[in-house]
Structure 1
């Protein structure tokens, strides 16, 4: 027996409102280029809009001209999607609250998540969106996931409640030590002063 090994998210499809509301939100608020448009091949009464969230993957939205924005929180029952988190740079994150306020979009305000900062708000149909900004850059050749697993191990070993910046710093140092060669025979910390 073998696993069905996945290699990343191909796309996420959401149920949107009408076509223009969907374009206005995904491109006009979140800045995702609108790159592809066709009918929903499983329902001729719906459109299927494709947006690039910034990494070349896809967020797609089923639209229907009979669906209008309702602003009521979507269900969070077991089996439902709770929220969608999108990555933003620190420079953008520092502007999110101000830019949402300018549009009159209610939001959570910045939230400290230890390894990232987050802010939450709802799309026009009440689906919760999170804009997240990592507090670290992984070392060359490593991924955010590589840093997170190392930071998790450090957090558990120290008995800390959640991942904090000290765990991230230790994780990055260990990853660099493992992945980057050095001519030094002794790479332990030193104090030359």
Structure 2
């Protein structure tokens, strides 16, 4: 939380740097964290007044970050993956407890959550590849020609005699 005295201190420190900021600028930045629509936040904070420049807002946002205003928290991919794995283990435990106690509704719900979390892990984090279960797709070799005697794909044109012998063909009478 930020107090009015903290806001006044921040505004005074910006004045020493030659930047003119107002309390409504701080209110605008606080509302930007709360509102999805930035235009609505500007309308509420400034009403008919002009919005300050981006430089003023960026400097003010830097000063407000220690108070948790305008600070964007990011979660790394590894942290997200670990959270999903933790959720799976917790839901497995709940499902096991529900199974032993005979609560089928809880067991079904927990099982669905485990299944959804596993699907997310496979889709987003490629867990399957990391565990060594790679899928191998075998693509047959492309052939150069189609045999005029057997109408099959061939890499090299065989002789008529070789085809007739291999496929047990009989020479047609002319």
What TM-score does the superposition give when structure 1 sets the normalisation length? Answer: 0.20
Higher helix share: 2
Higher strand share: 1
Of structures 1 and 2, the one scoring higher in RCO (CA 8 A, sep 6+) is 1
